[in-house]
A and B are shown apart, each in its own frame.
Chain A
Amino acid sequence: NWPWTPVPPDGEVSYDRTVCHLCPGTCGISVRKIDDRPVKIEGLDSYPVNNGGVCLHGIAGLQYLYDPSRVKSPLKKINNRFVPISWDEALTLVGDRLGELRNDQNPEALACITGSDQGSVPGLFNHFMAAFGSPNYLTMPDLESWLVRTAKTLHGDAYTLGFDIDHSDFILSFGAGLIDGWGSPVACIQAMGNRRQRQATLVQIEPRLSNTAAGASQWIPINPGTEADLAMGMCAVLLKENRFDPVFAQGFKGGFMRFTAMVQKEYPLDKVAGVTGISAADIQKTAVAFAKAKMPVALPGKGRGEGAQNLKEFAAVHTLNCLSGNVNKQGGTFVKPLPKYLNFPDPVQDAVALKGAAAAPLAGSVQELVTRIDKSGESPVKALLVYNANPCFALNDPFRILAAFEKIPFKVCVTSFMDETAMASDVILPVSTFLERMEDVPSKAGLAATVVGLSKPMVKPVFNTRSPGDVVIGMARALGGDMAKSFAWDSYDACLEQVTARIWGPLVRKGHVVLSENPPAGSVETDFEFLAENPVTVKPAGDLEFTLIPIDYFRVPPTVPAPSPFAIKTVSDRILRGTDMFVEINPQSAKNLKDGGFATLTTPAGSVPVRVHFNDGIMPGVIGMVKGLGHTLDNRYVSGKGVNINALISPKIEPNSGMDAAFGIKAGISKA
Chain B
Amino acid sequence: MQEDLMDIICCPLDKSDLELEVTQRDDEGEVIEGRLVCSECGEEYPVEEGIPNLLPPDMREESPA
Instruction: Say if A and B assemble together.
Output: no
